[in-house]
Structure 1
Amino acid sequence: MTLPTLLSFCTDCYLPTRLGMAKTSAAQLQIAARLYEVSLSALDELELARRLATYSKDHSPSTVNSKRRAILTLWSAAAEAGLCRPPNRKRIPRAREMRRIPWAWTTTELERLISVCRSVRGTLGDIPAGIWWPSIVLTIWDTGMRIGALLSITTSDLNLAERYAIVRAEADKSCIDRYYPLSDQSTAAIAGHFCPHRDRAFPWPYGRRQLFYRFRKIVTAAGLKSRKTMGLFHQLRRSNLSYTAAGGGVALAQQQAGHASSATTVRHYLDPRIAQQRSAIDVLPTLNLSGDKQLLLF
């Protein structure tokens, strides 16, 4: 009997039994399996560690670790099915990840961003780009929702009269229907292009890569700081959550984000410049530096 490869096991055995798994999650598992495309009988911790080390030369530590987790998930599932031996995880080291401070845009920067959005020329399908882009930015600023969730909203789940949007569980990372109130500003921006006869409330006629590429150009034109192209919309999400925490506390920001743990919200989303937490400087006594005595060192 010829054993399947890790990729064929993933595609033919593992994914069909994972009901409800998001398409993006399934795609990431397949990408990871291609990184170590060998027969299940040839799975080896040392060889996997070597491949991950090579992969790390062109990818961030967090990306390397995500691939490691995905491969070990598939390897363990194959072992449970009796197709191979289980992995010894200790022999496959994790990449060391640097913990960075979350970076959000301030309200002044967001105002500059929206100003540039309004000046974008051309059309997106039959919608003027200078109308579509501000509606996207303002809606994420209002809600903190992920860009994929926003683009999934149907016209029937967007009520401009009562100012709310619903993201269905199928498009939400937590697999829960989410209700989002909208401000007058975002409602007015959306009304500029909303058409109840369309399927999607925010129709995007191109692929996701083009979406990120064009938004990068807008961000650059606004002179805003950003770390990576694929995380630009997440920077808007951080702005929402940071200001939410500043005004309503971490618990409210966690609720808005839909995180199971407040630690996730604080570690990855709250910009300390905006969502200022209590620190040592709040409790340290002030030193008395007004004394008359002066020491002559020389």
Structure 2
Amino acid sequence: MQPIISVSNLSKTYASGFSALKDINLDIRRGEIFALLGPNGAGKTTLISVICGIVNPTSGTVLADGHDIVRDYRAARTLIGLVPQELTTDAFETVWATVSFSRGLFGKPANPAHIEKILKDLSLWDKKDSKIITLSGGMKRRVMIAKALSHEPQILFLDEPTAGVDVELRRDMWEVVRLLRETGVTIILTTHYIEEAEQMADRVGVISHGEIILVEDKAELMRKLGRKQLTLQLQQPLEQVPQALSSHGLELSEDGNELVYTYDTQGERTGITALLKDLNDAGIRFRDLQTKQSSLEEIFVNLVSERR
């Protein structure tokens, strides 16, 4: 299937000489939730801004559902909705008016039923006649999403959509995003809350210093790069790890009551089987065990640290 967004050899260098993007190649699949992760200054917002037509690229091409964002910009931008980091909207307009106006900017005919549905889906219906200035930060963020959805885009960019939003509201917005994906909307998410990517994304891309360093299915990424820990609670404390177990790289807790075995997910079966056999041969008994797998956040931190 043709990707809905195709980025080829994209670079952006500013007049100061700073290279914000360096030869980016990236395909976004139709109907997926794609999480773009990276530290501050990595190039996430610049990449989104280029795709959305806000920033001009220095070189390279971007296609939105086959439409070149430079040569066929009207068709490309009609397909795209953007929720920026900043809360930029007319403070003295009502919610209904500002969302309806956004639809008109794309040349779409008035559709009160569609605007009503968006506001209800985002729990904004009871605020439709309220002025933006009277809303909380979380509600203003929802209005930004409503504006981005007003013209019925097929591609939705969410640039830090839950920044400054409380936990309950954040989870509500996750549900809205999932519902959008079910209607066929492709969603590209940037976030500092790695939990969001772990909960929602189908695929994950990591950008660092203007370069894409990894693109992978989330589940496959966690399988390949994830680490697991097996903690054994011993029946009798040890003073040190026996020599017979030295090949397993075990760590002994300070009180000697726990042995910790760290392994990658691909070597899980053979590693644990060998460890348990060697423990038995050494006469070491345990009364309980527990496992822990590394999170997407830990994988992300390790990836970015390696690139510094």
Structure with the largest fraction of strand: 2
**TM-score, with structure 1 as normaliser:** 0.26
Structure with the higher fraction of residues in helix conformation: 1
Q: Which has the higher contact order (CA 8 A, sep 6+)?
A: 2
- TM-score (normalised: structure 2): 0.26
